[in-house]
Amino acid sequence: MTKGLEKILTDGLKAILADPAGAVIGVDFDGTLAPIVPDPESARIHPAGPGVLARLGDLVGSLVVITGRPAATAVEYGSLDRVPGLVVLGHYGLERWEAGRLTTPPVHPGLAYVRAELPRLIAGLDGVRIEDKDRSVAVHTRQAPEPQAALDALRAPIGVLAAETGLAVEPGKFVLELRPPGVDKGGTLTAFLRERSARSVLFAGDDLGDVAAFAAVRASGLPGVTVFSGSAEVGAELGAEADIVVDGPAGVIELLDSIADALTGP
């Protein structure tokens, strides 16, 4: 047992360590495995991430990344094809990447209208940018002179656009994402736990979209652990939902490495 892990040894962690073959370890990507950066296309996994994930994946029952990004993008930005047995569920679970194979649904028909209308909605808002994720479209205000004010100004018109197209709005850190309704990280994690006949679960996330996954851990009835990857942008509110709070992606990677250390022994 590593000294650092002893200080945060919850019942859920004890269950994972006692029966690793029955454990599902789930993580978000941006803000959890990869530091948040001004340009989402520049995001890359923490340098130690692929190695730690590969090590842990050999020790637990299942390892899964659940992200709002396209699955293939997360695989590329995270070098996740180097992690044997890893499953990546992209677009909140609409896409699945596993063993080099990508499974994707049809594109929601409302997205074409969204792509046409969003440039008009953000006109005049300096620093606001559109990120096209193929099966969803996100509007980022992080680089605006006043990011929160820009985000607040866009909430209502983007909400109207979502209603007109039958899409859902997923809020995050200085971002509003329009995506197909009826899927979130909570439902996706729940389905994955059932698929893998999980006996324990850990999920790590950093943003509002991860609250549903935290709730799914609690609702599963399994010994579980929720981990908040802390940041200056989202703090007390989301941290209060978690069993363990760590210092960003570096803290997440350190925690996962400590679990691997505990499982391999001295």
pLDDT category at 10 given cuts 50, 70, 90 is: confident
Q: In this model, does residue 232 exceed pLDDT 60?
A: no
pLDDT category at 2 given cuts 50, 70, 90 is: very low
* Tens-place pLDDT, residues 161-204: 999 999 999 998 899 999 999 889 999 999 999 999 999 999 99
Q: What is the pLDDT of residue 1?
A: 41
Pick the residue with more confidence: 182 or 159?
159
Average pLDDT score over residue span 20-30:
98
Q: In this model, does residue 227 exceed pLDDT 60?
A: yes
The gap between the terminal CA atoms of the chain, to the nearest Å, is 8
Average pLDDT score over residue span 150-167:
96
Q: What is the pLDDT of residue 209?
A: 86
The CA R_g of the chain, rounded to the nearest whole Å, is 18
In whole angstroms, give the CA distance from residue 249 to residue 237: 18
Q: What is the pLDDT of residue 23?
A: 98
User: On the CB side of 70, how many CA atoms lie within 13 Å of its CA?
Assistant: 19
Lowest mean pLDDT among 13-17, 163-167, 240-244, 256-260: 240-244
φ, ψ of residue 233 in degrees (nearest 5): -85, -40
pLDDT category at 240 given cuts 50, 70, 90 is: confident
Backbone dihedral region of 166: left (phi > 0), alpha (psi from -120 to 50 degrees) or beta? Answer: left
Q: How far is CA 61 from CA 9, 19, 50, 103, 243, in A?
A: 20, 9, 17, 22, 21
Which 3 state secondary structure label does DSSP give 204?
A: strand
Quote the percentage of the chain above a pLDDT of 90. Answer: 84
φ, ψ of residue 137 in degrees (nearest 5): -135, 130
Q: Is the pTM above the cut of 0.85?
A: no
Exposure string of 44-81, with b = 16+ CB inside 10 Å and e = fewer, is ebbeebbebbbbbbebbbbbbbbbbbbbbbbbebbbbe
Q: How many CB atoms lie within 10 A of CB 129?
A: 17
Q: What is the pLDDT of residue 208?
A: 84
* Tens-place pLDDT, residues 110-122: 999 999 999 999 9
Q: What is the pLDDT of residue 229?
A: 94
Q: What is the mean pLDDT of the chain?
A: 93
* Tens-place pLDDT, residues 72-105: 999 999 999 999 999 999 999 999 999 999 999 8
Q: What is the pLDDT of residue 172?
A: 87
Q: In this model, does residue 234 exceed pLDDT 60?
A: no
In whole angstroms, give the CA distance from residue 77 to residue 45: 6
The partner residues of 96 in beta bridges, in order of sequence, read: 89, 103
